[in-house]
Chains A and B, each alone.
Chain A
Amino acid sequence: MSNQIDRQMVERVALLARLELSESEIAQFSTQLSGIVDYIEKINTLDTDRIEPLAHCLPVHNVLRQDEPLSSLSNEAALANAPEQIEGYFKVPKILDDNSGA
């Protein structure tokens, strides 16, 4: 599966990652990521048919919180780091499409 990170793939991934890469970045990432992915390919030489994926190292489950309110931040503190704000809201350029996915 050598060299699968071609230019088109870099562009597709960059779009998913919301990174507006320059021409030189696209070229560089295509080379570098191909090399890295080639190396990573070695995991696919292992037989893992009967192996469970290990997402969490800890054998811990059911960490639950009681439904009791805690204090929230003030509006001022919530917006303290906001690049732009207006009337207590975070402000962004107008969204024209509705692309929410919940």
Chain B
Amino acid sequence: MDLEYKIIVGLEIHVQLATKTKMFCGCELKFGQPPNTRVCPVCLGLPGSLPVMNKAAVESAILTGLALNCTISRKTKWDRKSYYYPDLPKNYQISQYDLPLAEHGFIEIPLEDGSTKQIRIRRAHLEEDAGKNTHTLGNFTAVDLNRAGTPLLEIVTEPDMNSPTEVRLLAQELQRIVRYLGVSEADMQKGHMRFEPNVNLHITRNGQVFKTPITEVKNLNSFRALERSIAYEVNRQLDEFLTTGKTMQVGNKSTYGWDDVNQITVLQREKEEAHDYRYFPDPDLVPVVISDDWLDRIASRMGELPLAMQKRFVSEYELSDYDAQVLTAEKATAVFFDAAVRCGAEPKRVCNLLTQTGLKLANEHQTTVDALGISPIQAASLARMVEAGDVSATSGAVIFEAMMQSDDDPKQIAEQRNLLQKSDTGQIETLVEQVIGENPKAVSDAKTNPKKAKKAMGFLMGQVIQKSKGQANPKIVAEVLNRKLMK
């Protein structure tokens, strides 16, 4: 049978903003506190309490909107979204309905083949999070409102993604962006990013196009679950279409959950329930008007975004795309790298130091490369030493680690630890002559046998370096050896 299909996915992402306090009250945001200890009359929804906007949350949301190339609404407001649930103490959520803070933007995501793709952003708005219902303490539900009132940025994309991988890449790029902006820790373990993909297929059979019913997978909180649940949905929808022929109709969007144990999606609601959220402007809050001046001040905090940096590392520093990606995964690494290069070091050498040694050490110490106690200046001079052959790459790693405990110049450290390579030509010439004298067979192969010349040269080099107890600069050795053999 002649059948083709296209995967269509749009994504809703809730990002928790890294403010000190909640969206509308002064309760401190802290993960892992005993239940109902970070609550006050406002976030408990007690009668008589009133919300007041957190300026930092509004600014973080605007900054993110700008980074996502959105139009920032110059006048926005707050609306109440009504639904009853025990983790929602007022039984309405303060959110934004018809005037979101940001809309009509796009995010450029790097694909695995090295190209990029633009995914349109429909809107991004601020809202407050609900608390948490726990169902595992017994035959009842326990409600903790510590999380209630946490500022969330809800980002909605257009259905522009066409594979599970693209969706994951978008999610990861968004994580990288909000971390670069410093607006969210985007820690998946702590639920800082939650995803809800809307998935369907456009199936072409015998020249006719069929659209399968859209399904929404709720509350995914890992990249893996996101990617796998979509892959699962694609197969499930295809099977369902082939068995039932069911296509999209108004109101038949169903909701699925992700069963992480069995790696399957599970139907939660057959039809989109007749939700009637009764949105209306929250009379307790006043509008937000964003002036040019305020917007400029927020925009000035943006800094270079990760993908731009990644591209620049390739074009300006001639790094491979892979290296550039590794370096820009975390802002701390990228900025450190960039600073070291600007101190006058060869980019690839700095890159190697950071990716092979720096990141490993940072990981071991559960920190970032900029927090290892090494300055970009130190790293740059170390990279220059490796580049010049003053120390071997292996010694470079040793020195890098030693610099964590020392403010000394890497050269001093190399001297103290006797790691400097010998570049004294006279001494090296003596060793080369010795080796030539001791290995006539290899010498003759190197000189006359083209098939074996390369191998013979390598052997002779190794002998020289061995005699120098590893301290001879390989570059100089090769030079001297070549000169002597040419004679």
Contact of A65 among B44, B55, B83, B137 (CB under 8 A): B55
Known: A61-B288, A63-B286, A65-B55. A72 touches B142 (CB 8 A): no
Instruction: Tell me if B287 and A79 are in contact (CB < 8 A).
Output: no
Chain B residues with Cβ below 8 Å from A72 are: 27-28, 37-40
Q: Is A36 an interface residue (CB 8 A)?
A: no
Contact of A75 among B37, B86, B268 (CB under 8 A): B37
* Contact flags A76-96 to B (C-beta < 8 A → 1, else 0): 001100000011111111110
Known: A62-B289, A67-B55. A16 touches B276 (CB 8 A): yes
Binds B, one of A2-10, A22-30, A52-60: A52-60
Chain A residues with Cβ below 8 Å from B55 are: 64-67
Instruction: Tell me if B21 and A92 are in contact (CB < 8 A).
Output: no
Q: Is A20 an interface residue (CB 8 A)?
A: no
Instruction: Tell me if A101 and B27 are in contact (CB < 8 A).
Output: no
Chain B residues with Cβ below 8 Å from A79 are: 36
Known: A64-B58, A70-B40, A101-B85. A55 touches B281 (CB 8 A): yes
Give how many A residues have a beta carbon under 8 Å from the other chain's beta carbons.
Answer: 39
Q: Is A97 an interface residue (CB 8 A)?
A: yes
Known: A65-B26, A69-B27. A78 touches B36 (CB 8 A): yes
Instruction: Tell me if A65 and B143 are in contact (CB < 8 A).
Output: no
Q: Is A74 an interface residue (CB 8 A)?
A: yes
Q: Which residue of A lies closest to B95 (CB)?
A: A102
Most buried by B among A67, A74, A99: A67
Interface size class of B (residues with CB under 8 A): 35 or more
Known: A62-B286, A67-B21, A72-B27. A94 touches B141 (CB 8 A): yes
Q: Which residue of A lies closest to B144 (CB)?
A: A89
- A50→B287 CA distance, assembly (Å): 21
Chain A residues with Cβ below 8 Å from B28 are: 69, 72
Most buried by A among B14, B127, B141, B219: B141
Task: Tell me how far the C-beta of B104 lies from the nearest C-beta in chain A, rounded to whole angstroms.
Answer: 23
Most buried by B among A72, A86, A98, A99: A72
Binds A, one of B128-136, B165-173, B385-393, B422-430: B128-136
Q: Which residue of A lies closest to B43 (CB)?
A: A72
Q: Is B93 an interface residue (CB 8 A)?
A: yes
* Residues 44-70 of B at the A interface (beta carbon under 8 Å): 44, 52-58
* Contact flags A34-54 to B (C-beta < 8 A → 1, else 0): 000000000000000000000
Instruction: Tell me if A61 and B35 are in contact (CB < 8 A).
Output: no
Chain B residues with Cβ below 8 Å from A60 are: 286
Contact of A70 among B21, B130, B138, B286 (CB under 8 A): B21
Q: Is B275 an interface residue (CB 8 A)?
A: yes
Chain A residues with Cβ below 8 Å from B87 are: 100
Instruction: Tell me if A98 and B130 are in contact (CB < 8 A).
Output: no
Q: Which residue of A lies closest to B29 (CB)?
A: A69
Chain A residues with Cβ below 8 Å from B285 are: 63
Instruction: Tell me if A61 and B14 are in contact (CB < 8 A).
Output: no
Contact of A86 among B26, B38, B140, B273 (CB under 8 A): B140
Chain B residues with Cβ below 8 Å from A70 are: 21, 25-27, 40
Chain B residues with Cβ below 8 Å from A78 are: 36-37, 39, 44, 145
- A16→B273 CA distance, assembly (Å): 12
Instruction: Tell me if B283 and A90 are in contact (CB < 8 A).
Output: no
Known: A16-B278, A61-B288. A92 touches B27 (CB 8 A): no
Instruction: Tell me if A62 and B137 are in contact (CB < 8 A).
Output: no
* Residues 262-292 of B at the A interface (beta carbon under 8 Å): 268, 273, 275-278, 281, 283, 285-289
Instruction: Tell me if B268 and A68 are in contact (CB < 8 A).
Output: no
Contact of B57 among A18, A62, A67, A91 (CB under 8 A): A67
**Hey, which bits of chain A sit against chain B, CB under 8 A?**
16, 18, 55-56, 58, 60-75, 78-79, 86-95, 97-102
Closest 3 CB pairs of A and B: A70-B26, A89-B142, A67-B56
A-B CB contact pairs (8 Å), 12 listed: A16-B278, A56-B286, A64-B52, A65-B53, A69-B21, A70-B25, A70-B26, A72-B38, A78-B36, A95-B86, A100-B88, A101-B85
